[in-house]
Structure 1
Amino acid sequence: MNRARRPPLQHPLAVVFDRAVDSFSVALSPETTRQHRGTARNFLSYLGADHPEVQCLDQLRREPHILGWMSRLHSQAPPLSTASYINRLIALRSICNELAWTEQLPELAHLIRREDIPRLPHRLPRPLTTEQDQLLQKEFLRRNDLGGNAFLLIRHTGMRIGECADLSSDCLRSTAPNQWAVHVPLGKLKTERMVPVDPFVCELVQRLRFFRSLDPLPADGRLFARPGAKDTLLRHFRDYLHQVCHSLGLSTRIVPHQLRHTYASEMLRAGVGLVAVMKLLGHTSPEMTMQYLDVTLNDLEREFQLARSKPRHLVPQPRVPSALLREGLGGVIDSLLAAQHVLEMFRRELPHGSSRLRLDRLSNRLTKILREARKLATP
């Protein structure tokens, strides 16, 4: 169903807010960009109705403009969910930060503070039980069809269902002799990663390539054919999982993301460290990863005994090989990635303040430059 196109917002600040969203939307998905524009429209509509005297950016104040808008969101009917409220605050803060930088008005960066954004309720990890996991994997293997192999791939790589749908047909990459990894493209957190895999996953990718070759739709470089929009493919995957669970008589509602939680917990129990699990999942913070891990008393006991028998401080640090930069455009991209990494490491050492915020903006611009540089390599 097509959404009705709303008329342009008539407000003196509408143009400058749109320009700010355009500035940083290069690194955002279309849906996230749409949410930022919706938040800007909501805020400016509030300003126009309750504070029509605000005609330029330097008139914006935390009290009453920002706090009044936040109060309006709280009193909205029907009430906003906590997640939606947080998303709107973060979106407006991003816009204000961009305006503070582009319009040289640093006070705009302090209109919405960190403490204004509430925390989401703590969610317990939702890995599958051992019985559920075994039943599902056995059924996927028995069916050996497109959906079954897709969910086995998700289960054994920990990728999100949306990332799986975006996989390229050449996602399986050789990293060393007899060593393979799946290249997971830019996903929810705008990160891409390489996930090491075993021969079983390599076989899964080969099967999925075979299924793709049978599809009547022309090849488009993706591992999964899309008869329509990406959402159509995701809906097909979710319906498939629902049918499988129903056929197995599983009364508990199971969603694809639980396979990702199961993978994370499995990696932890296999001895993979928290930081490594964080990288495998494509997370940007350990706190996010901890929400995925189901840590039991047995896990703690195993780690305790391992630490007693083999203290980590006695293990020599691995040497980091010096990588040579590629030539041409590849070398430019490698240099940008290295600069981004060094900048991020330095930024994390700084206390919260204007310097750290400025480096955050520089990192954002490097991300945009990287995206544009990669486009140059595309014929």
Structure 2
Amino acid sequence: MAQTLIREYAAFLNDDRRRSPHTVRAYVTTAERLVSFLENETGSCSKDAISNISVNDLRVFLASRRGDGIGNRSAARELSALRAFLTYVGTDSATLRRLKAPRAERTVPRPSAPDDIMALGADMAEAASQAWIAARDWAVLLLLYGCGLRISEALSLLGGDLPLGETLRVTGKRGKTRIVPVLPAVRDAVARYTELTPFPAAKEEPLFRGARGGPMKPAAMRSAVLRARRRLGLSERLTPHALRHSFATHLLAGGADLRSLQELLGHASLSSTQIYTSVDAAHLLDVYRSAHPRA
């Protein structure tokens, strides 16, 4: 019964709510943890038992997760996933409102210098085992930094998206589409990859391929960035997703307004974009402290 409910919930998140695969995994994992908790504590994990769970039981469950060592930010994510599952099974909204998320300090992403990003890409290409893999990694890196794409968005591009023009239609979180400009350097990098790859993509097939011809996985890009970053002695903060942060910060520093940046990044809310005003201020403060004679 419980496993059937979990499968139905996963299908609901994926098909009806159009959540990303990462979100589906995270939310389903939380649902499975709650079901296991109820089995151990009450011996019942039917849909009715879950929907009628008490606030005290929920607090005990969340306390057990804190006992596992998760911090405020992770606890807030756990509560968000928990609310989604309980809403799905029909738990009374008044019960859910009594659960308060811990206050998590919002961290400010730190941008990387353009020279560091270019050095990273050059090192990745130099270390690649084959020329087409070098071209692939360089093209993906430029899509992240030059277009502000999430890694999942870059790797979801299909053969039908070729040849790249001056703009690219991107499907992001929750199936939301946006149009992003494509710089000549990005177009050239993708064209170079398509010339060299031994796995030309048909219209409905993934553009970027792994070494054996299957779809390229995000882990492959993360691993290549990690190795290059360590060889160059660059900051541990320089990750594939940090390239998107750098894209946003450098645009803002160059005069882009928040609304335009929100559209380019595909943020549903302007509040998600406003964090970059703090990033830019932090960058300016770093420059001031390093350069001003009285800093």
Q: State the match for 2:290 in structure 1.
A: none
Aligned: 1:63 with 2:55: yes
Structure 1 unpaired stretches of 5+ = 1-7, 101-106, 301-379
Once the two structures are TM-superposed, the CA of residue 235 in structure 1 deviates from its matched residue by 3.0
**1:99, 1:217 → 2: CA distance?**
45
What is the one-letter code of the residue matched to 2:13?
A: F
RMSD of aligned Cα (Å): 3.6
Aligned: 1:282 with 2:270: no
Q: Of 296, 303, 308, which residue of structure 1 is paired with 2:281? A: 296
CA deviation digits over 1:96-127, x for unaligned, max 9?
22233xxxxxx623322386223433212221
Once the two structures are TM-superposed, the CA of residue 18 in structure 1 deviates from its matched residue by 4.8
Aligned: 1:250 with 2:233: yes
Question: Is contact 1:183-1:194 (8 Å) kept?
Answer: yes
Aligned: 1:224 with 2:208: yes
**1:42, 1:58 → 2: CA distance?**
12
The alignment partner of 1:96 has SS state of: helix
* TM-score w.r.t. length of structure 2: 0.74
**1:158, 1:88 → 2: CA distance?**
28
Once the two structures are TM-superposed, the CA of residue 134 in structure 1 deviates from its matched residue by 5.3
Once the two structures are TM-superposed, the CA of residue 15 in structure 1 deviates from its matched residue by 4.8
Considering Cα pairs closer than 8 Å and 6+ residues apart, tell me whether 1 or 2 has the greater RCO: 2
In terms of Rg, which structure is larger?
A: 1
Q: Of 151, 156, 159, which residue of structure 2 is paired with 1:161? A: 151
Once the two structures are TM-superposed, the CA of residue 147 in structure 1 deviates from its matched residue by 1.6
Would the alpha carbon gap of residues 298 and 97 (structure 1) be closer, same or farther in structure 2, given more than 3 Å must change? closer
**2:166, 2:213 → 1: CA distance?**
31
The alignment partner of 1:98 has SS state of: helix
Q: State the match for 1:195 in structure 2.
A: 180
* TM-score w.r.t. length of structure 1: 0.60
**1:93, 1:69 → 2: CA distance?**
13
Aligned: 1:91 with 2:76: no
Once the two structures are TM-superposed, the CA of residue 158 in structure 1 deviates from its matched residue by 0.8
Would the alpha carbon gap of residues 233 and 65 (structure 1) be closer, same or farther in structure 2, given more than 3 Å must change? closer
The alignment partner of 1:221 has SS state of: coil
Q: State the match for 1:112 in structure 2.
A: 96
What is the one-letter code of the residue matched to 2:111?
A: P
Aligned: 1:259 with 2:243: yes
Q: State the match for 1:183 in structure 2.
A: 169
Would the alpha carbon gap of residues 42 and 170 (structure 1) be closer, same or farther in structure 2, given more than 3 Å must change? same
Aligned: 1:23 with 2:12: yes
The alignment partner of 2:179 has SS state of: strand
Once the two structures are TM-superposed, the CA of residue 91 in structure 1 deviates from its matched residue by 1.8
Would the alpha carbon gap of residues 243 and 120 (structure 1) be closer, same or farther in structure 2, given more than 3 Å must change? same
The alignment partner of 2:167 has SS state of: strand
The alignment partner of 1:295 has SS state of: helix
Would the alpha carbon gap of residues 30 and 266 (structure 1) be closer, same or farther in structure 2, given more than 3 Å must change? closer
Aligned: 1:241 with 2:231: no
Amino-acid identity (%) = 22
Would the alpha carbon gap of residues 134 and 36 (structure 1) be closer, same or farther in structure 2, given more than 3 Å must change? closer
Q: State the match for 2:113 in structure 1.
A: 129
**1:70, 1:141 → 2: CA distance?**
45
Would the alpha carbon gap of residues 50 and 123 (structure 1) be closer, same or farther in structure 2, given more than 3 Å must change? same
The alignment partner of 1:121 has SS state of: coil
Spell out the pairing of 1:230-379 with structure 2 (5 A cutoff).
Answer: 233-246=217-230, 249-253=232-236, 254-293=238-277, 294-296=279-281
